[in-house]
Structure 1
Amino acid sequence: MDLLRSLPIGLYLEKPITWLHQLDPRVKLVWLMTFLASPILAHPFWQLGVVGILILLTIAARIPIRVWRQQMGWLIVLSILTFMITAIAPDGLAVNAQPRLLDGDLSLPQPTDYDYILFDKGRLITRRSVELGIRISTLIFILIYSTNLYLLTTAPEEITAGLEDLLEPLRHLKLPITEIMLTLTLSLRFIPLVLEELQNLARSIRTRAINWKKLGIKRTLQVWLVVVEKLLENLLMRAEEIAVAMEVRGFTNPNEHRVQWYQLRLIQWDWVALAILIPFWWARFIWGRM
């Protein structure tokens, strides 16, 4: 069991380096906010279009199939199950219809072929339930996968460097931007250490071949309390080692001891990506309105 490689989301793809890797992190962050904001109050077909754009970006970037399957496979299953459950659930418009005719049946020709009920064979499926299913399933997919694609093609140092540059105007409000970004960088770098400690503890428990059935509930809880205590102890020791290493290297004031993790510069393709935002939002307000 390797937790550092078996997690299906949130990992950075170091190799191969795609054209998405080469884009400026600030440009990718702007596009991430665009993907997250444009589906809000949009037409269901627009939301499906955004899903298609994300899939085309993944294919165009030539991300390996093994990574694509690991990152997107479970998410597609989750979205399909969400759509199916929402489609067969009540649509929220449960109105008790009262017959208007006293006797007989009067059939009148309908002006259009519109039919609110799409399927009525033991389970009622309406247009609104299908629309709600599309909305919920696509929003879940866009929210998770767009963020994951950003993390997949952007190193933690690039993320913090881009955020620090975008939050630079807040320095006039006396906000400690450098300290916040340094804390964020250390937090992102500390996540693999947490996974490594969890992995080591899991392996140590498995090698001891503990018979959990014979232990009982009370002794099982005692074992897990010992494991949690050991995990916290190891993490605190790792944090102390990082603090000592930073102090030895002179990181006493972030404004005086700044390290440039990543050199920010806009290339030609960054300007092209920013220019595409204009027709994208124009299409959103023209065709994506409800």
Structure 2
Amino acid sequence: MDLLRSLPIGLYLEQPETWLHRIDPRVKLAWLMTFLIAPLLANPVWRLALVGLLMLITLSAAIPLRVWRKQMGWLILLCSLIFAIACIAPDGLAVESQPRTPQFCSEPVENPAECPLELPQPTSYRYTYVDRPGFLFIPQITITRRSLDIAVRVSTLFFTLIYSTNLYLLTTAPEEITAGLEDLMKPLRWFKLPVSEIALTLTLSLRFIPLVLEEIQNLVRSIRTRAIDWKKLGLRRSFKLWLVVAEKLLENLLLRSEQIATAMDVRGFTSPNEHKVQWHHLKLRWRDWLALAVLIPFWFARWSFGGMA
């Protein structure tokens, strides 16, 4: 079990370097915010188009199959389960669909609903797509137009929000992310906000994530090598053991933090403004301007065709 290699979410892909890696992080951040905002108040067709666009970007970037198969596979499975549950769940409308009946009959009857004459439907519109009664342990399955619409909206929203963020982290180094955010937050210095300190804190946080995974991995391996019989321990003693493991994990993480602080102190690091380390020199190139220009027709199509009816 290697968490640093098997965990599919939130890892940076160093090799191979795709065209997404060469895009400026500020431009990729603008596209990320676009994918996060565009599904809001959009119709189901537009949401499905965003899912297809994300898949097309992944395939065009030639990201290795071993990478995006883990990421997209679990996410597609989760969204499929959400879609299935939302389809068969109640749609929230207490409306019963009934066939059209005339208000008069050729012969007078006591109950107009018992009139044998019915008007044919002028169109092929159906509110209920599937209505299967329950049998034994199988509950009744009803799929309506509204429940299907809700299922498409929720499942595509989950996929778009999670996968677009994951694709951004997959093709952008942590130092590029913090450098881009620091450059975009420069106007906040007029309000006396510590922009450099915020960027440094974000950089250290992103670099600290692999250390956390490494400590968890080492503790899990140490428990597995001891071949503990959890059935004999029982629930209470197992809980106490996991509390000891959690305490050891917290102790190791605090020790790692102290070592990082000591290393920065020994090197004379006092503040980010006086000891500024520039990992990446941000400069917009032709491919970045092209990616920004594509945003204009994208949002034009969003407001023209993607709005709710």
TM value normalised by structure 2: 0.91
User: What value does the CA root-mean-square deviation take over the aligned residues?
Assistant: 1.4
The whole-number CA distance in structure 2 between the counterparts of 1:190 and 1:258 is: 19
Q: Which residue of structure 2 lines up, in the alignment, with residue 109 of structure 1?
A: 120
Q: CA deviation at 1:103?
A: 3.1
Deviates more, 1:192-201 or 1:213-222: 213-222
Q: 1:120 aligns with which of 116, 131, 141?
A: 131
Q: Which residue of structure 2 lines up, in the alignment, with residue 201 of structure 1?
A: 219
1:174 aligns with 2:185: no
SS of 1:124's equivalent? strand
1:267 aligns with 2:278: no
Q: Which residue of structure 1 lines up, in the alignment, with residue 151 of structure 2?
A: 133
1:59 aligns with 2:59: yes
Give the gaps of 5 or more residues in structure 1. none
Q: 2:301 aligns with which of 253, 275, 283?
A: 283
Q: CA deviation at 1:88?
A: 1.1
**Deviations 1:144-169, CA, capped at 9 Å, x for gaps:** 00000000000000000000011110
SS of 2:20's equivalent? helix
Paired AA for residue 154 in structure 2: I
SS of 1:21's equivalent? coil
SS of 1:281's equivalent? helix
Bigger proportion of residues as helix: 1
The whole-number CA distance in structure 2 between the counterparts of 1:137 and 1:93 is: 20
The whole-number CA distance in structure 1 between the counterparts of 2:51 and 2:167 is: 12
The whole-number CA distance in structure 2 between the counterparts of 1:17 and 1:96 is: 56
Q: Which residue of structure 2 lines up, in the alignment, with residue 16 of structure 1?
A: 16
Deviates more, 1:95-104 or 1:264-273: 95-104
CA contact (8 A) 2:97 2:127 kept: no
Paired AA for residue 240 in structure 1: E
**Deviations 1:54-92, CA, capped at 9 Å, x for gaps:** 000000000000111011001111111111111111111
SS of 2:228's equivalent? coil
Deviates more, 1:200-209 or 1:56-65: 200-209
Q: CA deviation at 1:97?
A: 7.0
Q: Which residue of structure 1 lines up, in the alignment, with residue 261 of structure 2?
A: 243
The whole-number CA distance in structure 1 between the counterparts of 2:297 and 2:266 is: 51
The whole-number CA distance in structure 2 between the counterparts of 1:28 and 1:56 is: 16
Paired AA for residue 243 in structure 1: A
**Deviations 1:162-214, CA, capped at 9 Å, x for gaps:** 00011110110111111011001000000100110111111111111111222
Q: CA deviation at 1:221?
A: 2.4
Give the gaps of 5 or more residues in structure 2. 104-111, 134-140
Q: CA deviation at 1:250?
A: 1.7
Tell me how many residue pairs correspond in the alignment.
290
1:73 aligns with 2:91: no
SS of 1:258's equivalent? coil
The whole-number CA distance in structure 1 between the counterparts of 2:234 and 2:243 is: 14
Within 5 Å, give how 1:155-166 maps onto structure 2. Answer: 155-166=173-184
Q: 2:168 aligns with which of 132, 135, 150?
A: 150
Q: Which residue of structure 1 lines up, in the alignment, with residue 106 of structure 2?
A: none
SS of 1:11's equivalent? coil
Q: CA deviation at 1:96?
A: 5.2
**Deviations 1:245-281, CA, capped at 9 Å, x for gaps:** 1111121021111100211111110000000000000
TM value normalised by structure 1: 0.97
Q: Which residue of structure 1 lines up, in the alignment, with residue 136 of structure 2?
A: none
User: In percent, how many aligned pairs have the same letter?
Assistant: 68
Q: Which residue of structure 2 lines up, in the alignment, with residue 86 of structure 1?
A: 86
- Say which one has the larger Rg: 2
Q: Which residue of structure 2 lines up, in the alignment, with residue 189 of structure 1?
A: 207
The whole-number CA distance in structure 1 between the counterparts of 2:131 and 2:165 is: 38
The whole-number CA distance in structure 2 between the counterparts of 1:106 and 1:143 is: 51
Paired AA for residue 124 in structure 2: D
SS of 1:118's equivalent? strand
